[in-house]
Amino acid sequence: MLSRSLIVTLLCGGLVLVAWSCRGQEEGAETGEMPAAEAMQEVAPPDTTGAAVWEYLEAVDYTASWELWPEKGELYMGQEPHGALLTTYLNPAAYEAVTGMAGSMPVGAIIVKENYMPDSTLAAITIMYKVAGYDPDNNDWYWVKRLADGTIEVEGRGAGCIACHTAQRDNDFVFTGPLGGGEMGEM
């Protein structure tokens, strides 16, 4: 039979563990955030469907956890077909390629471009996602265009996307800024 003092000790120890565990949970709840790198590690990369890509972007909360394209900021001047104003987000792999002047984007890189009308109303979100072996003729880019109402207008090997972005083949099909060396057009 357990002595009274041993029972009290065990109960107090259990309460301390419960209190410590709850404190750790409350601290995370106070900030309401998980570090971006941890949040993204817990979410598997998307497959090649527009719905899966969008679900992934929502799961990682790209607007809160990813970097903006360096030196562009929010609502910078854009051009058709993307919109009068643009905001471009980069996942960590893409951001590292841009800031490191890598010359091309690595597999897993994702570029999200929010396309706005002149009055700053969201028109669409266009996405470039580099998937190993997806489309070798076009540097393995998977394309998505999601309208403001949630409709997926383009997904996959977007003919219009490829036709336009081929002009930047030497910059890994990317218009927003140079990835390292070579000439680059504007868009």
* pLDDT at 41 (0 to 100): 55
Q: What is the third-level CATH fold of 37-171?
A: Chalcone isomerase (3.50.70)
* pLDDT at 180 (0 to 100): 86
Stretch 61-84: mean pLDDT: 96
Cα–Cα distances (Å) from 19 to 7, 24, 26, 55, 124, in that order, read: 18, 9, 10, 35, 47
Cα–Cα distances (Å) from 143 to 22, 24, 126, 147, in that order, read: 43, 41, 7, 13
* pLDDT at 31 (0 to 100): 47
Stretch 110-133: mean pLDDT: 98
**CA–CA gap between residue 165 and residue 153 (Å, rounded):** 18
Q: What's the pTM value of the predicted model, to 2 decimals?
A: 0.76
- Is the sign of the CA dihedral 121, 126, 127, 128 positive or negative? negative
Stretch 48-76: mean pLDDT: 97
Cα–Cα distances (Å) from 157 to 23, 48, 134, 142, 144, in that order, read: 49, 10, 9, 6, 9
Structure tokens belonging to residue 61? 């909360």
pLDDT in tens, 9-60: 333 444 333 333 344 444 444 444 444 444 445 789 999 999 999 999 999 9
Question: Residue 90 pairs with which residues in a beta bridge?
Answer: 67, 111
Domain boundaries, the chain: 4-32, 37-171
* pLDDT at 181 (0 to 100): 57
Q: Write the burial class of residue 187 (CB in 10 Å: 0-12 exposed, 13-18 middle, 19+ buried).
A: middle
Nearest to 97 by CA among 42, 186, 173: 173
Structure tokens belonging to residue 143? 């394309």
Question: Residue 85 pairs with which residues in a beta bridge?
Answer: 77, 116
Check if the beta carbon of residue 174 is closer than 8 Å to that of residue 139. no
Q: Which residues contact 55 (CB under 8 A, 6 or more apart)?
A: 46
Residue 1 pLDDT > 60: no
* pLDDT at 88 (0 to 100): 98
**Amino acid (one-letter) located at 123:** A
